[in-house]
Structure 1
């Protein structure tokens, strides 16, 4: 499981870093074309908007899956043992339910409904923008399932000792 998590982490990090580098290049081109060439590039602006959505969604999935998101720990800090493990497992299950229903199912519906609409500047279907929802939802579900297995193994090990 550790190897699979490490591979997923590295893949997502590479995608996010690559996308960020491409965005920096596109933003630099936008500035150069606007001020040096006096002919602003409309494609780079639309691409940056599109890329920012994808980068944000993938980064959110990464952070949520690694359990490094902002959370209220008032209750979990006071619990220990089986109660803490149960609450942590419940939170993971809620994340899976949200990601599955809202992000994967809802995002797939939104993408499907907007595939016939064209993103004007990039001349691609708007559905590609909404595909970031099921993609990031799938990453969240994958991480949460790994987190559930880790929690289960940690709880099982603490019981046997």
Structure 2
């Protein structure tokens, strides 16, 4: 479990810094776009399109990051009342569905779309659209890793008596 946790920390940092870098570049591009539009009465299509693509990338990587931190939207009304054994089953089933989704849709489907779009160039940037679409399988790989990690962590926590619903304290009582 320690090895997986170390890998997860590295993955978290990679995505975190990637999102920070994307946000910084987007800020520069949008500022440049505003200055050229209002000061010089010109518009830069390249900065506008690139900012849009980077925004999509940031959303994709940000969603993987939030999923990895388990900070995503989670309705815990039923899970808060479950005993640890049932909670373990729910955690495993939830993450198995996510493994199937990230493998089938994001990794496999994303790789197909990325490969199909490598021959099509973006009109403004003149780069293959596949480069832009590659965020899908990359984020799918991160989500797949996080789902596998979550299953391993839930099993580890269950075996060590640490698996509890979100609304319980160390004694297992509802807060």
Normalised-by-shorter TM-score class: over 0.9
Q: Could you tell me which residue of structure 2 aligns to residue 126 of structure 1?
A: 129
Name which of 9, 13, 19 aligns with 1:10.
Answer: 13
The size of the alignment, in residue pairs, is: 159
RMSD: 1.3
**Deviation per CA, 1:62-87, whole angstroms, max 9, x where unpaired?**
11222221133232122121000110
2:34 is the counterpart of 1:31: yes
The question of 1:139 aligning with 2:148 is answered no
Distance in 2 between the 1:119 and 1:75 partners? 47
Match of 1:74 in 2: 77
Aligned mate of 2:107, from 104, 115, 135: 104
The 2-side partners of 1:93 and 1:54 are apart by 25
Q: Which runs of 4+ in 1 moved over 4 A?
A: none
Residue 157 of structure 2 corresponds to residue 151 of structure 1: no
**2-structure distance, mates of 1:68, 1:89:** 18
| Contiguous gaps of at least 5 residues in structure 1 | none
Indicate conservation of the 8 Å contact 2:23/2:58, yes or no. Answer: yes
Unaligned runs of 5+ in 2: 163-175
Please report how far the alpha carbon of residue 14 of structure 1 lies from its aligned counterpart in structure 2 after TM superposition: 0.5
Aligned counterpart in structure 2 of residue 88 of structure 1, from 74, 87, 91 = 91
Is 1:53–1:129's contact at 8 Å kept on the other side of the alignment?
no
Task: Summarize the alignment of residues 35-74 of structure 1 with structure 2, pairs less than 5 Å apart.
Answer: 35-74=38-77
